[in-house]
Amino acid sequence: MAISCIGNNLITGGKDKKLRVFPGGNIKKGTPKYTIPHYARGLDQNASGDILVGCRNGVVYELVNGKQTEITRGHSDGETWGLAIDPSNSSIMVTTCDDNKILVWDTNKRACIA
C-alpha cells in the first residue's frame, strides 16, 4: 500500500499493517518489521532513520528506534458533516465526517483528545 526509498533504505507498508525496512535496499528476510494499528498510505524517513507513517484512517505515527508515537489524527474520508464549538469552552470543538467518526479537538493543543 506504501513504499518509500530514502537514500539507500527501502521502506514498505502493506494491508497486513506491517512496515518493513530494508537497509541499503537489501531485500531479504530478517529486516526490521513493525506492526502499526492501521495500514500505511504514506511513508517518509529522515537522515536519523526516524520514520513517519501516514495511515489510511488519517492518523500519522512517528517511529523512533522502534517506538511508535501518534503525532496527529484526522478524519479518513473527505467530507465534513458537522462542526460545533463548546459554548462553555471555546478551545474545544467537535467534528463529524463521512467516515462515521466523531472527534473532539483541543484547539489550544492542536490535538484530538477524544
DSSP string, 51-63: EEEEETTS-EEEE
Q: CA 90 to CA 86: how far, in whole Å?
A: 6
Domain that holds residue 93: 80-112
Each residue of 31-78: pLDDT tens digit? 778 999 988 988 988 877 889 898 888 788 989 988 998 887 777 666
pTM of the model: 0.71
Q: What is the largest CA-CA distance in the chain?
A: 57
Are 42 and 85 contained in the same domain?
A: no
Are 56 and 8 contained in the same domain?
A: yes
Q: Provide the H-helix boundaries in 1-114.
A: none
| pLDDT band per the 50, 70, 90 thresholds, residue 30 | low
Element (H, E) at 4: strand 2-6
Burial 36-70, CB ≥16 within 10 A → b, else e: bebbbeebebeeeeebbbbbbbbbebebeeeeeee
Are 42 and 62 contained in the same domain?
A: yes
Are 94 and 61 contained in the same domain?
A: no
Higher per-residue confidence, 66 vs 2: 2
| Count of domains forming the chain | 2
What is the structure's pLDDT at 18? Answer: 93
